Structure 1
Amino acid sequence: MPETTAPPSRVPNRGYRQWTPFWFLAPAVLTLLLIGIYPTIFALVTSFRRYNIARPREGFPFVGLENYVSVLSDGTFWASLGTTARFYITVLPIQIMLGLVIALLLHKTGMGFLKALARVTLVVPLATTYAVVGLIGRLIFNRDFGVANQFLDMIGIGGFDWLGSPSGAFAAIAIMDIWQWTPFCALIFLAGLSMVPGEIEEAARLETSSKWALLKHVQLPYLLPGLTALLILRSADVLKLFDMVFVMTRGGPGSATDLVSIYIQRVGFRIFDLGTASAQAILLLVLTILISRLYIRILYKEVQ
């Protein structure tokens, strides 16, 4: 029988191979453009216009820096920014300290199955959306049948109108934020501790019995990069925090939980002044960038 030859394999042309990485990246790039870059550019352009969608007949004229001047002279905006700052300095130190303690406990040898179970459990609050966390908070801190008041009754303190009083509402949203984001801090620190060379850590344990000295001189340099990333991410997250607070308190009672994101939403979607709301959002973006640069300059160091 005559010998048959296999058909030559098709070799993709050179141009196709050069564009292959682009096609793999294209969906992510397009998504980033649609949900990230385009809204930012739109907000930047809108912030220089008188853009009130409730009065479309007036048009959207260019007003220059008028919206920014209005925002910077708005006492309510500064008050909401102050409330956000108070919330930030309340929750973040607690989250960092609790997260570090949890990470150090999970970094210890032993515990086997319990350690694995604890690590899995840490993911649960992170997988819960802000709106659901807000609904859980409304149930926990309900004045009549909430778990928080039932616990207070058990220890003889008596019920408390958490969401109806300024201090109680502020404490309630802080507690829910701490519950949700302390595991994130713990996982970041646990990742940093896993980078410490085992022989160096073991030698340090033989040299000193002080856990503080071990943390300060051996483990801390490996925690600083993660701490920097943690501070940047949490700063941006607190400045844009909306869903959980809106579901729990709507910014009330009064202005007790009126975070800056709540105020921006009210200006943009209740008063319909998108020009002013966009200027507020752009100023918030600039503030986030400045805070991030400050953290990087102060804290971030490469581990030698």
Structure 2
Amino acid sequence: MRKGYNIIALEGGGNLAEHIDVLVRRRRREERRFQLLLFLPTIVFLVLMVLFPLVYSVRISFYDYVRGREPRFIGFGNYAHLFRSEQFWLVTWVTLRITLTCLAIEMGLGLLLGFALSQKVPGMGVFRVLIFLPMMLAPLVAGLFWRLLLDQTFGLVNFFLERLGFQAVEWLTDPRFAIWGIIITDVWQWTPFVVLLVLAGLGTIPQELQEAATLDRASPWMRFRNIYLPYLRMPILLAVLFRSIDTLKMFDVPYILTGGGPGDLTTTLSLLGYRNLFSFFKVGVASAISWFVVIIVNVLVNMLLKILSPRRKIPREMVDTGL
């Protein structure tokens, strides 16, 4: 029986193989169709909620579009209007000032706290939890929290300043201090993010290197430059990347704390776009401001990604041989 079955299989082998191949191809098409159906809701959601608003905002930024009037195509007129506006450049400078100041303070404090919290001391886990708590709050909650603390009349900050013999400060209305209220809030909330990345980098340092540095009696600066810094380079650059993006498009904290005042001294680019859209109904100008922020963020991201990308060093032997 087995011999006869093999002969029949060999005689009809060609037709059977073709039939199996057709079935396999059909099964693969059905699997791909099923996979597409699984992804279809996500694709539709992304198109409706992400892609369409982006394309529409780009298109509308080239129109003189004020709510209640018929849109009129003006090309780069909105962008030219922004670049001629003193208010726009003042707001751009305020945004850059907040970004650079927050980055400098958060990087410095993050490194110091990261090294302090990396020490093996009893009870250090409790301090880590307390340090990381502000990062868990929403920016809106953090802004409301510091608005109460910095209030001129009943804020705790002025209460302690007066108890120490200092004069109360108008943190949210004085042109000299209003921007510092925003910076303090951002530093308080997001320094823990830098600390987290620094602790992650310190955790990758081999114990043998630290023991060798101790035996060689290396100075703190030598240890930092030759042992810690190479392992912290990537976490620090990642912290700079993410914090730069967040601060350049900051909206919540200035809106809650000062509303952009006094005047425009604490108005960020995102807040300026919000005002043009919801206060003056200038949809085209608001879209142009938003895309100006997008361009700045993308340029910064590309610059930092070039720094982050590893550079392959070509061996000297290959250079000498022309390979």
**TM-score normalised by structure 1 residue count:** 0.86
Q: Pick one of 36, 60, 65 that aligns with 1:51.
A: 65
Per the TM alignment, residue 247 of structure 1 is displaced from its structure 2 partner at its CA by 0.8
Per the TM alignment, residue 150 of structure 1 is displaced from its structure 2 partner at its CA by 0.8
Q: Pick one of 258, 280, 285 that aligns with 1:276.
A: 285
Deviation track 1:243-281 (CA, whole Å, cap 9, x = no partner) reads 111011000112221112111111121111111111111
Q: Pick one of 206, 222, 227 that aligns with 2:231.
A: 222
Query: 1:122, 1:184 within 8 Å by CA — same for their partners in 2?
Result: no
Per the TM alignment, residue 39 of structure 1 is displaced from its structure 2 partner at its CA by 2.6
Per the TM alignment, residue 25 of structure 1 is displaced from its structure 2 partner at its CA by 6.0
- 1:289 equivalent in alignment to 2:298: yes
Query: 2:91, 2:265 within 8 Å by CA — same for their partners in 1?
Result: no
Q: Distance in 1 between matches of 2:46 and 2:132?
A: 26
Q: Distance in 2 between matches of 1:246 and 1:294?
A: 29
Larger radius of gyration: 2
Relative to 1, partners in 2 of residues 1:147 and 1:44: Cα closer, same or farther, differing over 3 Å?
same
Task: Give the match for residue 184 of structure 2.
Answer: 175
Q: Distance in 2 between matches of 1:183 and 1:36?
A: 30
Q: Pick one of 64, 67, 72 that aligns with 2:75.
A: 64
AA in 1 matched with 2:93: G
Task: Give the match for residue 137 of structure 1.
Answer: 146
Task: Give the match for residue 18 of structure 2.
Answer: none
Per the TM alignment, residue 22 of structure 1 is displaced from its structure 2 partner at its CA by 5.9
The structure showing larger relative contact order (alpha-carbon pairs under 8 Å, at least 6 residues apart) is: 1
Task: Give the match for residue 157 of structure 1.
Answer: 166
Per the TM alignment, residue 197 of structure 1 is displaced from its structure 2 partner at its CA by 2.3
Per the TM alignment, residue 193 of structure 1 is displaced from its structure 2 partner at its CA by 1.4
Matched residue SS, 1:103: helix
Per the TM alignment, residue 28 of structure 1 is displaced from its structure 2 partner at its CA by 5.9
> Greater shift after overlay, 63-72 or 116-125?
116-125
Task: Give the match for residue 203 of structure 1.
Answer: 212
Q: Distance in 1 between matches of 2:36 and 2:115?
A: 43
Query: 1:221, 1:303 within 8 Å by CA — same for their partners in 2?
Result: no
Q: Pick one of 145, 148, 152 that aligns with 2:157.
A: 148
Q: Distance in 2 between matches of 1:103 and 1:64?
A: 50
Q: Pick one of 53, 63, 71 that aligns with 1:39.
A: 53
Query: 1:205, 1:214 within 8 Å by CA — same for their partners in 2?
Result: no
Per the TM alignment, residue 117 of structure 1 is displaced from its structure 2 partner at its CA by 1.8
Per the TM alignment, residue 21 of structure 1 is displaced from its structure 2 partner at its CA by 6.4
Percent identical among aligned pairs is 31
Per the TM alignment, residue 206 of structure 1 is displaced from its structure 2 partner at its CA by 2.5
Deviation track 1:68-92 (CA, whole Å, cap 9, x = no partner) reads 1111111111100001111122211
- Give the gaps of 5 or more residues in structure 1: 1-12
- Give the gaps of 5 or more residues in structure 2: 1-26, 314-323
AA in 2 matched with 1:52: V
Matched residue SS, 2:64: coil
Relative to 1, partners in 2 of residues 1:31 and 1:140: Cα closer, same or farther, differing over 3 Å?
farther
- 1:92 equivalent in alignment to 2:111: no
Task: Give the match for residue 222 of structure 2.
Answer: 213
Q: Distance in 1 between matches of 2:211 and 2:43?
A: 45
Per the TM alignment, residue 27 of structure 1 is displaced from its structure 2 partner at its CA by 6.2
Q: Distance in 2 between matches of 1:26 and 1:210?
A: 59
- 1:107 equivalent in alignment to 2:118: yes
> Greater shift after overlay, 155-164 or 14-23?
14-23
AA in 2 matched with 1:97: G
Q: Distance in 2 between matches of 1:33 and 1:181?
A: 32
Q: Pick one of 74, 86, 92 that aligns with 1:81.
A: 92
Relative to 1, partners in 2 of residues 1:118 and 1:28: Cα closer, same or farther, differing over 3 Å?
farther
What is the Cα-based RMSD across aligned positions, in Å? 2.4
